[in-house]
Amino acid sequence: MKLPGLRLSTAARLLLVLFAASLALLSGAVRHSFADGRIMPPRDYQGSLEELSQEALIIFQDSDLPGGATEDLILKISVQSSGEVRHFGWVVPFPQQPAVEKEDARLFKELYDYVEARTRRGSRNGGRGELKADEAVPQAAGVDVLSRKIVGSYDVAVVREKVAGSLDQWLEKEGFQTLGRDAEDVIGFYRRKGYVFACLKVSDAALAGGTAVDLHPLRFTFRTGGCDGIYFPMKMTGLQKERFDINLYVFYRAWLNEQLSQYGYSHRGFGRKYRDWDTAQCRPNAGKAWSAPETDVFLRDLVHLVPTVAKLFQKLHPGEKYYLTNLLAHNLKPGFVRAWADDLWLFPNYSDPTFVPVDARPGGVAAAGYAAPEAIQR
């Protein structure tokens, strides 16, 4: 995609929305670290379950064609419990039906080590920035079940709600507590946009051993419906009560808009911990060869830290080059996120501050979030 005036430096646990369901607690308190959203306990659970953090890896491919952009979104899921975890799940909204695959938990440890190594060394441009198999499924009237299959430890159903309240009915049949009428402002937002929900829970096969399951990451590959906007679902996180943190590893061929214009991520309460940059030995504005880091003049000194990350790019996007940007948001208020007019959309660092990203223009997939000035204020 040709990006008008794109400036790259010459020196770049659903939402997502999580729902925890059917936990059998043998003793003591439970701590959760999920990939996204509001946690939903089983129907007969009387305790309090809240998401404390979200962590995700995003690989984005923009497009010259309307609706042609694609995204790989990998969610880290973990549960720490003094008791036995029996059933666990969550619901994640997507613009279009995603393909779902299992990924390696080492991805996040390697990226954390890589960022720490880079930030310890320091740099002009990369250092710390300001932090501000398908089968039949239970049906419910008003819900289309688009697919269902087992992915690693998870039973994954992708559904679309057509009638208000019908998603709650489907979740109840599956053993989840319902969201309730108070959530209609958020669920209705997704329904009106035609979004789908990936509903996941630990599979019966994974539970057969009678021990806690390995909650491995999942990769969702989907079309965003746009051209230049990077999607991360967050609005449903606003349904919970506790504050939460977010850690995003975003791979894109350019730097991201931080605060160049109103479309920068700083206006959403995010700050940059790290981003890749170009040294004098690098080809400027070209990205980094993450699928072959040993051949890249920028990456090769730390290649030993990222073997699993390199294998991921060899599998998904061999030969493509990206800049990594690590974004953080701390102590976000659920009410602040719930009041957003749209989910989180990240955009390229266009050099012209007056340029409006394609997906943020009227009719674009991210336009709702920028229809009014107050929609982008923290």
The verdict on residue 366 lying in a domain is: no
The verdict on residue 245 lying in a domain is: yes
How many domains does the chain fold into?
1
Q: By C-alpha distance, which of 47, 40, 77 is closest to 172? A: 40
The verdict on residue 16 lying in a domain is: no
- Please report, for the domain that includes residue 152, its CATH number: 2.60.250
Give, in order, the Cα–Cα distances in Å from 187 to each of 16, 37, 113, 297.
13, 13, 37, 47
CB 62 within 8 A of CB 1: yes
Which residues does 365 contact at the CB level (< 8 Å), separation at least 6? Answer: 95, 224, 225, 226, 229, 231, 345, 359
The verdict on residue 6 lying in a domain is: no
The verdict on residue 369 lying in a domain is: no
122: alpha, beta or left? (left if phi > 0; alpha if psi -120 to 50): left
* 188-215 confidence digits (pLDDT tens): 999 999 999 998 887 665 556 555 555 7
In the predicted model, residues of the chain with pLDDT beneath 50 are 1-52, 79-85, 124, 127-138, 374-378
Full domain range(s) for residue 98: 30-360
CB 186 within 8 A of CB 197: no
The verdict on residue 378 lying in a domain is: no
pLDDT of residue 87: 58
What the block records as the tokens of 269 is 């309460």
The verdict on residue 8 lying in a domain is: no
CB 326 within 8 A of CB 336: no
pLDDT of residue 143: 87
Which position has the token pair 């977010």? 246
Q: Report how far residue 132's alpha carbon sits from residue 268's, in angstroms, rounded to the nearest whole number.
A: 9
The verdict on residue 1 lying in a domain is: no
